[in-house]
Structure 1
Amino acid sequence: MRWRTWVFGVECGTVPVQPPRRMDILFDLDGTLVDSRAGIFNCIRYSMEHHQLPVPTAEDLLWCIGPPILESFAKLVGPDSPHLFEPAVVKYREQYSAIGIFECEVFPEILETLEELQRQGHTMHVATSKAEVYAKRIITHFEMDRFFASVNGSELDGTRANKAELIAHILEQQRISRDEVVMIGDREHDIIGAVKNGVPSIGAMWGYGTGKELVESGATLCARVPRLLVELVGSL
């Protein structure tokens, strides 16, 4: 593309203008696109109470958002009750799929940001450790499916729950170059997963992780609010 240059109405020549760089953008779900604390916390507490296990407070469960749910329940149930691990997960999923899945809301500025990124020609994908079957329901429920070329998550048995493995899977399946992709997420798992795949990342500081956590994990950039993503993606 070339742009004509005029001075006082006289054409002085042309200068090259680079078109905007189009990226593939991988978005985490919980803590990045949606605030899902209520549904996740309520269902964990429901399962723990059902199995007469110690019921943590909401504040004590914040660490559970980000890691795979199987990993979280392994720690919650603990080594003293290994026989309750699988039943606890089953009870959680029973409640979550029926009620908790929609006990969440889209973060402010997210829809407007997705619209602008799409307008600029970027291709967007969801990359979440949450079970893919749940992720697709959430994205469709909040009418965000119009923004995403693919929604990717783990299998119920935990396959691809590791964020590094999930990102590698998406890059392969979608034929995405590592030179043209960025991962956006709010927890260390998102950033470390990006680092292990050799791709840049943007820390979502409006989510559940801290700025310190994101920086120490190796985030390339950090955004305080969603609307800043447009500028930061353009700077990569």
Structure 2
Amino acid sequence: MIFKNSSKKIKGIIWDWNGTLLNDVAYSIGCINELLVKRDLNLLTEEHYKKVFTFPVKNYYETIGFDFTSEKWELVAMEYMETYWQNMHRLELFGDAVFVLNKMREQNLKQFIVSAMEHSKLNRMIMDYKLEQYFDVVLGIDDHYGGGKAHLGNLILEQSGLSPDEVVWIGDTYHDYEVADSIGIKTVFVACGHQNKEILLQSGCTVFETLSDIRLM
């Protein structure tokens, strides 16, 4: 049960995409390790990755050894995305993602996606996975640099007519909390994504192990 003492009935869910519905953690680590190998930098294990990954992602790149005084951040970001795109058709949703999306729809909840993935690529993936039926609006960012997405959350509220206390944001990184909190939306986490549970708990928000553990009243 989520927010059982909420003053308003929950009418909408804003979903993050990568690491929340899309199971791309191991794949993302493999992609960044390809870039690290080329630069003779230390490779990431999953444990270390989930400790250092953050937004904006430029900060995370610098933490793991990239030097943007010797190469341009924009070129490195594009190199990563081109590596990611090469085999992203092999990615799968978390095994319980469609089950949970169906459960939310059965409760007549509006569902949205807000992602730091580039908008056209995100929409292509949603169509490839045949998920259009679940979402009222799908929004990604307009570049490949993994910046903030608060403006997208505000756009969802404007387009849906929902107030912040009628919406729950479900994500897998502390940045999801920062974005949601900045516009007055409460956050719920799943700990199967790009940051570890200890980081997520620092927000004071509810953290579930998997999507299937989420229950809405």
Q: Answer whether contact 1:39 1:102 (CA < 8 A) is retained.
A: no
1:7-26 equivalence runs, <5 A = 21=9, 23-26=11-14
The normalised TM-score by structure 1 is 0.75
| Structure-to-structure mapping, 1:108-119, within 5 angstroms | 108-119=95-106
Matched, 1:226 2:211: yes
Q: TM-score when scaled to structure 2?
A: 0.81
Q: For the Cα contact (< 8 Å) 1:69–1:130, is it kept in 2?
A: no
Question: How far did 1:109 drift?
Answer: 1.6
1:143-197 deviations in Å (ceiling 9; x for gaps): 22221111112121648x3143332232234333112111001111111221221
Which residue pairs with 2:25 in the alignment? 37
Write the mapping of 1:26-175 to structure 2, written as runs, cut at 5 A: 26-50=14-38, 52-59=39-46, 60-63=48-51, 67-76=55-64, 78-79=66-67, 81-99=69-87, 101-156=88-143, 158=145, 161-175=147-161
Measured in 2, the distance between the counterparts of 1:82 and 1:165 equals 32
The sequence identity of aligned pairs, in percent, is 22
CA RMSD of aligned residues (A): 2.7
Query: Could you tell me how far apart the structure 1 residues matched to 2:139 and 2:59 are?
Result: 19
The amino acid that maps onto 2:117 is: K
After superposing on structure 2, the runs of 4+ consecutive aligned residues of structure 1 that deviate more than 6 Å are: none
TM-aligned CA deviation for residue 22 of structure 1: 5.3
8 Å CA contact 2:16–2:114 kept in 1: the answer is: yes
- The Cα shift of 1:91 comes to 1.7
Higher relative contact order (CA 8 A, sep 6+): 2
Rounded Cα–Cα distance in structure 2 between residues aligned with 1:40 and 1:211: 18
CA distance, structure 2, for counterparts of residue 62 and residue 138 of structure 1: 24
Q: Would you say how many aligned residue pairs link Structure 1 and Structure 2?
A: 209
Q: Deviations over 1:12-52 (max 9, x none)?
A: xxxxxxxxx451100111221021023322222233444x3
For 1:118 and 1:152, the matched residues in 2 are separated by 19
In 1, the alpha carbon distance for the partners of 2:184 and 2:11 equals 15
Listed as ranges, the gaps of 5+ residues in structure 1 are 1-20
Offset at residue 63 of structure 1 (A): 4.7
Counterparts of 1:155 and 1:70, CA distance in 2: 16
Q: Distance in 2 between matches of 1:76 and 1:55?
A: 8
